[in-house]
Amino acid sequence: MSDPGIVECLKGRGLVHVAGGIKVFDSLDLPAMPNTCDARGSMVAAWLAPSRWLLIGSAEDSERWASLDIPGAAITDLSHGRSIARVSGQQWRRVLSYGCPLDPETSFTPGRWGCAQSVFSEVPVFMLVPPDGLWIELHAPLSYQTFFWDMLTACAAPQGYRIARPDDPIPTMAGLEADSLPIEPNTWRHREAAHR
């Protein structure tokens, strides 16, 4: 069996929340349908709710987006408030199924960018899947970073996943760095036992 995949923590991502009655933002068509996205190069606009979107790009993109003054739009930079993990490989849907009630087989349409909001091990997450379906990004609140990472790596371990290291030759979106957190997998079990 080939290498099932990699769990990596992404750094250098730009995330901006946009709300308002607009249809286009920085050449991105803002999707009107639930759980859909529009992408241009390394920039993605993902539907969150009616008149609400998450823009994903580089750190430079988010700085530029946050500085724009667009009538009728509220723009909030979320870049420093999220922990982002990418799970790639043949078994990412199975890894997701260990900690998420969402059915990954039916929730994302092959051939199109897809997004969804759910929970992973009781942590609220935003999920992003590219058209080729080779990986999924999970965006969690930064305040849950340690627990989220521990649970994700614990769910990936039975599938033979490995944790990416900064020097791994792994594919990433243009201009984005891959890095891993300095946290050992399964440490949540030790913390949980200490609190009993």
In this structure, are 64 and 102 located in the same domain? no
Helix (H) or strand (E) holding 56: strand 52-58
The separation between the first and the last C-alpha atoms of the chain, rounded to the nearest angstrom, is: 40
Residue 49: inside a domain: yes
| HSE-CB of 86 using CA atoms within 13 angstroms | 24
Which 3 state secondary structure label does DSSP give 61?
helix
Which pLDDT belongs to residue 168? 52
What is the domain range of residue 90? 6-11+81-194
Please report, as a single letter, which amino acid is at residue 121: S
Name the DSSP letter for residue 79: G
The two structure tokens encoding residue 71: 């009538």
Of the candidates 99, 77, 190, the residue with the CA atom closest to the CA atom of residue 148: 99
Within a 10 A sphere around the Cβ of 82, how many other Cβ atoms?
A: 19
Count of domains observed in the chain: 2
**In tens digits, what is the pLDDT along the chain, a chain of 196 residues?**
455 688 888 888 899 999 998 999 988 899 999 999 999 988 999 999 999 999 999 999 999 999 998 988 999 999 989 999 999 988 899 999 999 999 988 999 889 999 999 999 999 999 999 999 999 999 999 999 999 999 998 999 888 888 875 455 444 333 333 333 333 333 333 333 333 3
The two structure tokens encoding residue 194: 């200490």
Name the DSSP letter for residue 36: B
Longest dimension (CA), the chain: 54
CA 48 to CA 131: how far, in whole Å?
A: 18
In this structure, are 73 and 154 located in the same domain? no
Which pLDDT belongs to residue 27? 86
In this structure, are 91 and 156 located in the same domain? yes
The DSSP line for 103-117 is -HHHHS-TTS-EEEE
pTM of full prediction above 0.95: no
Q: Residue 45 maps to which CATH number?
A: 3.30.70.1520
Name the DSSP letter for residue 21: S
In this structure, are 85 and 41 located in the same domain? no
Strand partners, 120: 123
**φ, ψ at 163 (rounded to 5°):** -90, 125
In this structure, are 35 and 126 located in the same domain? no
Which of 61, 80, 99 lies at the terminal end of a domain, its last residue?
A: 80
